[in-house]
Amino acid sequence: MRVSNNMGYDQVKGNISKNRTEMVDLQNQAATQKRIMKPSDDPVGTSRVLELRTTQAGTEQYLKNMNIARAFLNTTDLALGEVTDSLIRAKELALSQSSDASANASSRLAVATEVDQLFNTVVNIGNRRFGERYIFGGFKTTNAPFDKDGNFLGDDGSMRVEIAKGVFATMNLSGDKVFSGSDSRIGLIPEDRRGSTKPNYPEIPSSREDGYVDPIEEVRGPTSQEKTSETGSIRDPQSLKGGEAGENIFKVMNALSAGLRANDTVAIQETLERLDAAIDQVVILRSQIGSRVNTLENTHESLAKQKVEDSTLLSSIEDADAFEVFTDITKNENILKATLQTSGKLIQPSLLDFLR
């Protein structure tokens, strides 16, 4: 087959263009340290890279959500701790004025003033904010959830944030549940007795001809459902079902203040049990906050590990091997030089070369 001059020119031109294109690609890889710069470089790898980047963006957002939720819950936990301290102080005052022989009408009147101050403190805690949002207002985060008398103005909305794909966490507690005792006492009842008004004891006759008396019936006695005069909540914890009301903290403190001002020892003593129930109520809700924070921390740790693994995998697919790139650059540089040197031999001299 006859090889024309044009064929030689085209071959030389193609070889030089190919070598220079490879050199440009290698120089770009060396400058960017990336193996994939356009989809045509590696279509399968590009698809995997885009998938990993989408996952990383989602992980970053989940981590931000968890940081906000954790800060919100920590603020709530601090507020509940202050409520507990106020209730404990109120109980101490009630004990001292109901059982101390030196207590009198004047001392009880002075203590009533302190109880009123504790009441205002608890109201202020109920109106605590995280940033610009009220933490106990439910969905109504722009307005104070409690007025000066302790009346709840918010709702029972649960603010949920997504902390993983399809996984949501509640980051708030409704003030109605914390301070008014709405649906907050299920934690006081053993799990095997929730939803039942009495223990599931075996059926044993309560009376027999030989005079035998069932010791269980003797200890248990008749079912009693003593109710408080102000809240109407059942005060026997064994008779409580999940979802029944707990103690209204503001009403309990008002009852204590009223008993102190009236110099009514019996009324003061009656608030002791209710204060205990209110403290237990806050402690139970505080434990729920702790459980949520633990869940967030565990999820945060898992996502942080996943983020590192995704970054490692992304790097293995997308990043260039620096040693390999510089080796290829040296090799292609030698090839380009060889191509240029041999091109002159391939192209035959023209008439103009002889005329020079």
Place of tokens 């709530």: 76
Provide the residue range defining the domain that includes 251. Answer: 51-184+246-312
| Torsion sign over Cα 202, 208, 214, 219 | positive
* Continuous segment of H or E residues that includes residue 162: strand 160-164
Share of the chain above pLDDT 90, in %: 43
Alpha carbons 255 and 263: distance in angstroms, whole number: 12
Q: Specify the pLDDT at position 41.
A: 74
- The answer to the question of residue 266 being in a domain is yes
- The answer to the question of residue 175 being in a domain is yes
Q: Specify the pLDDT at position 84.
A: 95
- The answer to the question of residue 67 being in a domain is yes
β-strands 129-130, 133-134 pairing: antiparallel
- The answer to the question of residue 2 being in a domain is no
- The whole-model pTM stands at 0.66
Alpha carbons 111 and 227: distance in angstroms, whole number: 27
- The answer to the question of residue 105 being in a domain is yes
CATH of the domain at 78: 1.20.1330.10
Q: Specify the pLDDT at position 356.
A: 54
- The answer to the question of residue 337 being in a domain is no
Alpha carbons 207 and 64: distance in angstroms, whole number: 66
Q: For the chain, which ranges sit under pLDDT 50?
A: 184-243
Nearest to 123 by CA among 109, 107, 134: 134
* Continuous segment of H or E residues that includes residue 161: strand 160-164
Q: Specify the pLDDT at position 272.
A: 93
Q: Specify the pLDDT at position 5.
A: 63
Total domains, the chain: 1
- The answer to the question of residue 3 being in a domain is no
- The answer to the question of residue 229 being in a domain is no
